[in-house]
Amino acid sequence: MRELSHFNKDGSVRMVDVSGKKATARRARARGFITMSAKVLRQLPENPKGNPLEIARIAGIAAAKQTFALIPLAHPIPLTHVDLEVRVAGGGVEIESTVATQAPTGVEMEALVAVSVAALTIYDMCKAVDKSMTITDICVIEKRGGKSGTFLRPQASRPGPQSAR
């Protein structure tokens, strides 16, 4: 059984030492969903603060680049690619991030932070119309590279409109 990597044998918290690891190509994708009322969905293109989906996309990209400042034990790593797709789907908005690096550690946290902040941005911009929006199903759907290899979440257990209703 694998052990939690952010704890010493005595149980104290530590940042994982990656100084002896080689920098390799790594990629992660994450997805999440925010449910909202039909009224909000209709108003998305007309929001007086700007297009919430495009602003959320930019917020997610910016957040991925700041993951090390938000997650206490995350490493500051150079990101070579960050992209977010933000689209209306099945009673809400689906958000999917793709993050890549050439580093000694992975980018799963960066992908998750990108999706989370994008969803929070949509909530912030639309809460005047619908405070009952729900952010849900945030998860890693793919991870490639590094010692642990490839992880692909099975299609049936991926979040999205069908599981967020």
Q: Active-site positions?
A: 124
Pairing of strands 151-152, 24-35: unpaired
d(CA 33, CA 116): 9
The phi, psi pair for 33, rounded to 5°, reads -145, 145
* Beta bridge pairs of residue 88: 93
| Separation CA 136–CA 34 (nearest Å) | 6
Q: 89: Cβ–Cβ under 8 A, 6 or more apart, which residues?
A: 33, 160, 161
Tokens (6 digits) for 157: 């257990």
- For residues 30 and 110, give the distance between their C-alpha atoms in angstroms, rounded to a whole number: 9
Given CA atoms 125, 46, 129, 42 in this order, what sign does their dihedral have? negative
